[in-house]
Amino acid sequence: MIIMAKRFLADNKRILLTITSFVIALSIFSGVSIYAERSQTTLKSKYEIIDLGGNTPGIWPAWHLADEQTLNIRIVALDKISPHKISVIKDAILSEKSADFKNSIMNTASNSDSVFYNGWKGALGEASKQHTFLYIPSKIRVIDTDANSDVTITLTNKQNEDGYSGYTKSIEGSNMIQGASITIYDVSNLSNEQLATITRHEMGHALGLAHSSAPDDLMHAIIMTPSFISPCDIYEIVHIYNIERSNHFGCDT
């Protein structure tokens, strides 16, 4: 009985340490609530690429920017959106914070530690450490004017009739992204975690990522909350900007 009691306490101590580690890791991320497991709340996304002739191209294009050129992102609010909601969106784009997670916690195949990013600026900085044929747009900023915007994020409190939380449309020409527009729906009714997650997801599309076939990845069409930018998302960015494109995006390993 004493041995069994000791084993029970040891097992529960390990579980508590695992939960505590996950809580601490989540607390590193700015604007992310602290809790011990991913919720079952999911979000739906739609992604389209249209060429200049109004057709759907057969490849996933990338941005063709000059080295060190900045990708400009503009946020437009159609309805009254709180400044805090907008700051959550900006953080999901511009944050450079990262945290180590056990892949078993994030439901990926490996049991080792992986670095997940809170914002695309940090993730793109990591991706740009790899040599690629095309310049990975690691320099991104949010601007206030429409003059030089490459990506426009439109915020609305209206619900999408098909139940989408986010929709991204990229314009393709000469096998490159010419511009991208993102719409995020029902913004005021999304929690901060949901809003940050859908922003990360749609911004991934705007950078050239398709939907992943892995159900637990940020870029899956049905997104778990919260979801962060994974090592596989970063790998796929490198893949696209090295012009090794395909119509399949897995993140299954």
Structure tokens at 216: 């637990």
- CA atoms of 211 and 149, how far apart (whole Å): 24
User: Would you state the pLDDT for residue 45?
Assistant: 97
Using the CB atoms, write b or e for 139-173: b if 16+ within 10 Å: bbebeeeeeebbbbbbbbeeebeeebbbbbbbbbe
The answer to whether 210 and 59 have CB atoms below 8 angstroms apart is: no
Please state the pTM of the whole predicted model: 0.82
Q: Please name the residue that has the structure tokens 């390990």.
A: 14
Identify the band that residue 32 occupies on the pLDDT scale cut at 50, 70 and 90.
Answer: very low
User: Would you state the pLDDT for residue 54?
Assistant: 75
Using the CB atoms, write b or e for 217-228: b if 16+ within 10 Å: bbbbbebbbbbb
Higher-confidence position of 18 and 233? 233
Residue 113 has pLDDT above 70, yes or no: no
User: Would you state the pLDDT for residue 245?
Assistant: 59
Give me the helices (H) in 69-161, please. 83-94, 120-127
Identify the band that residue 9 occupies on the pLDDT scale cut at 50, 70 and 90.
Answer: very low
pLDDT digits (tens, 9 = 90+) for 190-228: 999 999 999 999 999 999 999 998 998 999 999 999 999
User: Would you state the pLDDT for residue 7?
Assistant: 44
